[in-house]
Amino acid sequence: MLLTGVWPWIWFNLFVLVLLALDLGIFHRKSHAVSTKEALIWSAVWISLALAFNAGLYFVSGSEVALQFLTGYLIEKSLSVDNIFIFVLLFGYFSVPAAYQHRVLFWGIMGALVMRGILIAVGSVLIEQFHWIIYIFGAFLIFTGIRMGVQKDENVNPEHNPLVKFVRRFVPVSDDFVKDLFVVRREGTLMITPLLLVLLVIETSDLLFAVDSIPAIFSVTTDPFIVYTSNVFAILGLRSLYFVFANIIHKFHYLQAGLAVILCFVGLKMVVSGFYHVPTWLSLLFIALVLGVAIVASIMRARRRAAEQVSAKVEAAVTSRGKP
């Protein structure tokens, strides 16, 4: 049995809307700083829902479709790490209070779901009508992966964002945050708050990331429903993932290199798809292996650096004691 027709789309999107309504309307109705424990719980919830959906696909459509979803989900989940780097930089740059960050991410992800749905629909039509475009997607991913692997860390300056410049030029912006509001009225003038500026930068940044991640999932399957659902589940868990890794993401030194390898791999897979089909299980194994190696190597490096710092402090203390 295959998931065809309009009803799977309707039921899935209704399910997502219910989850989002429960999230914002009940569990996060009041703005508060999300603790690591709370973020871990929510991360487990979103991952469990994705795996439950994957199990449902297995029983309804078979192992190959389920494997495609799981591989696509893992690709999108890993590539979303770049979003977390941007979130950390943006919240630090604008000095967004911790209590308001979840609200910004919630609406940012709502916008991301809409934009990615449109991009997936366009990509599916293009691939169906012009199959050769998949080779262009592949070449683009290889180029992006190489660029990601060789580029150094860049500072993000939101004030240089064209959308932020445009908004500041034509719309008055308040100097401070007003609780968790995006728009306020002061002395009869309608103004936007810096919180809305943060949201606008997040939306434009995600649009750029989607240009990389969506073609990457098309390397696994061209079924728009599988591409869409795997993308949605990965995005839904992005907020909680941010609150888990926000304070330690800088320690994963080799993660960007791992993501670069993954992008190059999926791009190469698309380029050679005309004469060789890489099995989905092999793609899943390779991506999981690369992520595992990058994470373990990063943890070992962080521990080695911490040990070196402790040794340096001890040596400095001993030297200072030995001075007259």
For 32-64, what is each residue's pLDDT tens digit?
777 778 888 888 999 999 999 999 999 988 888
The per-residue pLDDT for range 229-251, each reduced to its tens digit, is: 998 998 888 888 888 877 677 77
Adjacent-strand bridge partners of 173: 192
Is pLDDT of 322 > 60?
Answer: no
**In terms of Cα–Cα distance, which of 93, 280, 119 is closest to 202?**
93
**What are the structural domain ranges in the chain?**
7-322
pTM of the model: 0.80
What mean pLDDT is predicted for residues 241-266?
Answer: 82
**In terms of Cα–Cα distance, which of 199, 184, 31 is closest to 100?**
31
Highest mean pLDDT (candidates 33-42, 88-97, 257-266): 257-266
Q: Tell me what pLDDT residue 1 has.
A: 44
What mean pLDDT is predicted for residues 298-306?
Answer: 85
Q: Tell me what pLDDT residue 150 has.
A: 78
CB of 266 closer than 8 Å to CB of 227: no
